[in-house]
Structure 1
Amino acid sequence: MMTHADGKVMRTIRRLFFDPACLTRDYIKGKRASEIPPIRMFFVSLLLFFAFTSVAPFHSIVAREIPEEMAEESHSTLPLSGHAESLKVELKAQVETLTFSGSKRVQKWLDDHLAAALDNPDEVQHVMGEWAERMVLLLLPISAVFLWILYAFPKPVPLYDHLIVSLHSLTVLFLIVTVATILEKFLSDEVMDWLIRALALAMTVHLFAHLKGFYRRSAAGTVLRMILLGLATIVASFLLTLALALIGLQLGAVGE
């Protein structure tokens, strides 16, 4: 029983990486007995992704702003906590200089919550981590809708088909990012830089092969749609990140 299940998993992963268009087409046509369902693979990849990655700790982001001279002197002059407190005061002063050219109510909300976030970095991180797991799921319908719009002409494709394409593509993305995160712990920064470039290129080629093979449009048309999809994804990612930051401030940073 386990051997049969393992065989289905390996077969699905192999086709997912090396023959994604055919895998998607077979599933939509009902040829599903020999592979793992895409929704199950998607959630497995998502669980692995969150098991090995996390939202960058708020306090670690603050820590990276500590000047090198301050870090060198921390063991000889003031205790580290003193430097951290000094940095916190400085950051609070910078926060107070931020202005929002709009509602005074919004400006007050930003001032209160940004200042409070510096006092409660762990809570902000915790809230952002919880909501990040929920918001990542939004990538699935967003991706499917983008594909539905991009491939509406000349012949529309059912939204369900775009959803399966999105499930397979995002599964590959999460698996690759997870592997890269694991390797980062063992490889040097220089090697990781080259590896990230190679993986980015591989994901681009994989997406091109997937879209061209499944939708059967011209190479130029596929590239154009990939560019538009990339731009739309950047905008959507920015909005989701902004929403995540605002949620973290609202729920994690409790102002006085």
Structure 2
Amino acid sequence: MSHSPIRKDKTCLNCRHVVEQKYCPNCGQENTDSRKTFHHLFVHFFEDLTHYENAFWKTIRNLLFKPATLTKEYLSGKRLSYLAPVRLYIFISFITFLMIALFPSHVTENLQKSEKDITTNLIKQDKKGIEAFKKNTHFELRTMKEVDSIQKYGKPSEKYTDFEYWVYEKVVHVTENNTKAEIIEKFIESFVHNIPKILFIIMPFFAFFLWIFHDKKKWYYFDHGIFTLHYFSFLLLIFLILFIIQKITDLLGSGFGFIADITNFVGILWMSYYFYPAHHRFYGESRIVSFIKSVFLFFINSFFIVFLLTFYVFYIFINLH
């Protein structure tokens, strides 16, 4: 709650109504000084996101350990005691990607080290051995000059289609201008920065598949949308917790790695199981019907997500510079 001093002027800055106490009885705006320090701005930002401490921790507790409770409470009209679904998702997303930005992956460093080790070992071999190694471990791409020559003078069976030619040109451009480590580094950076976009694309489809599998008269698409927001918030929150534990154990040393292994196992197991009890409790169907639907929905959404991610990986690759 804000600790800013109450204005001496009793006129609401928003609606000009007379304010006898802290909040305007007409519009609800707090009658405090509108000019605030950066500290107040920062605190106010988190207060708005978390909707005060009690509501925040109550929401997180139910989200983690009581599948579907938040969705049922929200749709029943009990909304002031919890964070709103959209606000909850935005808050968890913000913290998750902030942590990822502050503690980036060491994949690129490991790749560069591996490449250096390989190069050092190769230098110790004779020239013939090196050439043989390269021949057996690298796929040789044609240059665009060679491809253009095939397109112009080659046999019809050797020529590329317009789409194949466009893809090949992109691949050659990327591989000629980037090392393997640089390609992976740029890909990871782009992928992490665009995860919110991917999730926002997936969520409407996830809710749509729920809509298909349930009674259209009893459940509106809006209901499935709220369920989806809470489910995806749960997945992000588990990912965030596992990420933080992994970074802490990394700082403590290799002797504490087993803690991360255990929490990862438990977290992934809970993530995999969570959808079933959430689905059963929210939609109120029998356990066997809920289980069958959960399995079908899992495979349908998994196929769709893999397809979307494959397309996105291809999109990132061809747009690397």
Give TM-score, length-normalised by structure 2: 0.62
SS at match of 2:57: helix
The whole-number CA distance in structure 2 between the counterparts of 1:117 and 1:136 is 27
**1:140, 1:167 within 8 Å by CA — same for their partners in 2?**
yes
SS at match of 1:26: helix
The whole-number CA distance in structure 2 between the counterparts of 1:53 and 1:16 is 22
**1:57, 1:125 within 8 Å by CA — same for their partners in 2?**
no
Q: Which sections of structure 1, spanning at least 5 residues, go unmatched? A: 79-85
SS at match of 1:157: coil
Find the counterpart in structure 2 of residue 94 from structure 1.
Answer: 139
Cα offset for 1:15?
1.6
The whole-number CA distance in structure 2 between the counterparts of 1:209 and 1:135 is 26
Cα offset for 1:33?
1.2
CA RMSD of aligned residues (A): 3.6
Find the counterpart in structure 2 of residue 110 from structure 1.
Answer: 167
**2:171, 2:318 within 8 Å by CA — same for their partners in 1?**
no
**1:128, 1:247 within 8 Å by CA — same for their partners in 2?**
no
Query: How many aligned positions are there?
Result: 238
Matched, 1:51 2:98: yes
Find the counterpart in structure 2 of residue 14 from structure 1.
Answer: 61
The whole-number CA distance in structure 2 between the counterparts of 1:237 and 1:60 is 29
* 1:209 aligned to which of 242, 264, 277: 277
Matched, 1:25 2:72: yes
Gap change, CA 1:25 and 1:149, over 3 Å in 2: same
Find the counterpart in structure 1 of residue 155 from structure 2.
Answer: none
* 1:224 aligned to which of 292, 298, 304: 292
Bigger helix share: 1
The whole-number CA distance in structure 2 between the counterparts of 1:24 and 1:133 is 22
The whole-number CA distance in structure 1 between the counterparts of 2:107 and 2:160 is 27
Q: Deviations over 1:26-80 (max 9, x none)?
A: 211211111110110011111222223479799569658749x616648x869xx
Question: Percent of aligned positions with the same letter in both sequences?
Answer: 19
**2:68, 2:278 within 8 Å by CA — same for their partners in 1?**
yes
**1:9, 1:36 within 8 Å by CA — same for their partners in 2?**
yes
Q: Deviations over 1:150-188 (max 9, x none)?
A: 2248x6521111111111111110000111112122165
Q: Which sections of structure 2, spanning at least 5 residues, go unmatched? A: 3-46, 126-130, 143-157, 251-255
**2:246, 2:260 within 8 Å by CA — same for their partners in 1?**
yes
* 1:132 aligned to which of 195, 212, 226: 195
Gap change, CA 1:22 and 1:195, over 3 Å in 2: closer
The whole-number CA distance in structure 2 between the counterparts of 1:91 and 1:29 is 64
The whole-number CA distance in structure 2 between the counterparts of 1:196 and 1:102 is 49
